[in-house]
Amino acid sequence: MFNSIRSESSYKFLFNGKWIESKGRKTLPVRNPSNGSILGSIQSMTIEEANEAILSASASQKSWAALPMHQRAAILHKAADILAASQELLAELLVKEVAKPKGQALDEVLRTVILIHETAEEGLRIRGSVEYGDAVPGGRNDKFALVERQPYGVVLAISPFNFPINLAASKIAPALVAGNSVVFKPSSQGAICGLHLAEAFNQAGVPAGVLNVVTGSGSDIGDYLTSHPGVGLINFTGSTAVGLKLKARAIPLFLEMGGKDAAIVLDDADIELAAKEISAGAFQYSGQRCTGIKRVLPMPSIADELIHKIVAEVEKLKVGLPEDDCGITPIIGDPEPVQQMIDEALRSGAKLLIGNKRQKNLIWPTVLDNVTPDMKIAWVEPFAPVLPIIRVKDENEAIELSNRSEYGLEASVFTRNINKAFAIARRLDVGVVQINGKSARGPDNFAFTGFKASGIGSQGIRYAIESMTRLKTTVINLKA
């Protein structure tokens, strides 16, 4: 089903409905992070080819937007069906390319299938409005306005390595159903998964040029793509450093960046539940989630019991290869900065409760107690299985420490007092607050928003479609 995307030596890129190789004849190897073997090579496209991809998407966009909405939705449904039929193959690719445990890999594919189906359905429900001129004092009853949602044009979709199918689809599907064309730039690690996703849309009947794929190093073509005048909107998920560079662009942006999510555990919390949720939130996919729990802020009276139970949960985690469906697998990024943060914290007085063991890029789940606000690990996102515990004197200090972060993605509050939970939630400067649950993205119909250095715009199916459209007002002046 996916034979066309690969030649004998490398994967191709999608341009105008066809899979082709770069004229520059340069490729980038994609390695299995578990054993270093080469899975294949992707095209290192030239700037000229990137330009052609954007121009092609621009030329095809108006006819795509003119296609009836129900026809665009039908194509999305078909793409989802193709993914569902290929779920075992795609899950295996996730295991090999991004070291995702097999169970989590299957979950990602099936979640993406649902996401695309629901995006197609939600697209049919997106509406404009009618506004009346006499609805405000001094207004006139001989005026009314039609307010429509129209596409931006070309959406540049830049996806990360950690959810290379789901997070790519969460950009591509809403953009397409809204009538935009898409130039898709996957992360180099994760690009093979992204190319298979693109072929599912291609096979489903997305017209030539409406979805083009650009592969290669971000350092070579990234700045060119993000500053191209033919791009109408940039939808980016990735590091905060790159996202903040994009904020300087004079172009509509949709950014999902880093996080340093805190779990605040109050005196009356269900400690058993809190420990299980915190462990799952901190160590799922080896901590390589922007929504992972990355700090625990417990009240004094329950801190020791909570920490004991967290460590007990961590001891149950299986460490090893994704092929064996281990919960902790090799990380994608450089492990040295992570190790340096752990070492710095231990030198400064933090207490190691479990972990601090490493084999190359496989890091054992690590829990550090007595972390203080003057330690780097209290503020920096490690993107690895490391959990610092910062003991606080009361809930006000917990809120203050949570809000002091440059990030504002999510926070969790554990308490049996729902009134207190809501009161604290209102004071937290984050886009999402979880009550008695781990921080997470989804369900995909929920709004998912980052504050401060964590993002711009809202994910979530309906919210994403709305964010990828702009309002246009047509005023009708009635004449007798």
Query: Fold identical between 3-257+456-473 and 261-443?
Result: no
Give the 3-state secondary structure of residue 173: helix
Tokens at 283, concatenated: 């160590």
What is the distance between the alpha carbons of residues 274 and 282, in angstroms, rounded to a whole number? 12
Q: Which of 49, 97, 290, 313 is catalytic?
A: 290
Residue 467's pLDDT is 93
Give pLDDT tens digits along the chain (480 positions).
Answer: 788 898 877 999 999 999 999 999 999 999 999 999 999 999 999 999 999 999 999 999 999 999 999 999 999 999 999 999 999 999 999 999 999 999 999 999 999 999 999 999 999 999 899 999 999 999 899 999 999 999 999 999 999 999 999 999 999 999 999 999 999 999 999 999 999 999 999 999 999 999 999 999 988 899 999 999 999 999 999 999 899 899 888 789 989 999 999 999 999 999 999 999 999 999 999 999 999 999 999 999 999 999 999 999 999 999 999 999 899 999 999 999 999 999 999 999 999 999 999 999 999 999 999 999 999 999 999 999 999 999 999 999 999 999 999 999 999 999 999 999 999 999 999 999 999 999 998 899 999 999 999 999 999 999 999 999 999 999 999 986
Q: Which of 256, 313, 395, 466 is catalytic?
A: 256
Phi-psi region of 206 (alpha: psi -120 to 50; beta: other; left: phi over 0): beta
Total count of residues recorded for the chain? 480
Helices 69-85 and 87-98, axial angle in degrees (round to 10): 70
Annotation marks residue 290 as catalytic? yes
Can you say how many angstroms the Cα of residue 385 is from the centroid of all Cα atoms in its chain? 18
The candidate with the shortest Cα–Cα distance to 396, out of 368, 372, 423, 378, is 423
Asked if 200 contacts 41 with a C-beta cutoff of 8 angstroms, the reply is no
What is the CATH number assigned to the segment(s) 3-257+456-473? 3.40.605.10
Report domain extents, the chain: 3-257+456-473, 261-443
Sign of the torsion formed by the C-alpha atoms of 265, 393, 406 and 421: positive
Residue 8's pLDDT is 77
Q: Is 252 exposed, middle or buried (0-12, 13-18, 19+ CB in 10 A)?
A: middle
Residue 479's pLDDT is 85
Can you say how many angstroms the Cα of residue 182 is from the centroid of all Cα atoms in its chain? 17
**CA angle (194 as vertex; 157, 235 as ends), nearest 5:** 10
Domain 261-443 sits in which CATH superfamily? Aldehyde Dehydrogenase; Chain A, domain 2 (3.40.309.10)
Residue 235's pLDDT is 97
Residue 174's pLDDT is 98
Adjacent-strand bridge partners of 298: 265
Neighbour count for residue 352 (Cβ, 10 Å): 14
The candidate with the shortest Cα–Cα distance to 303, out of 401, 389, 420, is 389
The candidate with the shortest Cα–Cα distance to 278, out of 406, 373, 356, 390, is 390
Asked if 353 contacts 369 with a C-beta cutoff of 8 angstroms, the reply is yes
pTM, full prediction: 0.95
Exposure letters 201-237 (e unless 16+ CB within 10 A, then b): bbebebeebbbbbbbbeeeebbeebbebebbbbbbbb
Residue 480's pLDDT is 62
Residue 9's pLDDT is 73
DSSP for 274-317? HHHHHHHHHHGGGG--TTSEEEEEE-HHHHHHHHHHHHHHHHT-
What is the distance between the alpha carbons of residues 243 and 237, in angstroms, rounded to a whole number? 8
What is the distance between the alpha carbons of residues 442 and 445, in angstroms, rounded to a whole number? 7
Return contacts of 4-10, CB within 8 angstroms, 24+ apart.
Answer: 4/199, 5/195, 5/196, 5/198, 5/199, 6/40, 9/41, 10/40, 10/41, 10/42, 10/43
Can you say how many angstroms the Cα of residue 268 is from the centroid of all Cα atoms in its chain? 33
Tokens at 87, concatenated: 């779920």
Annotation marks residue 256 as catalytic? yes
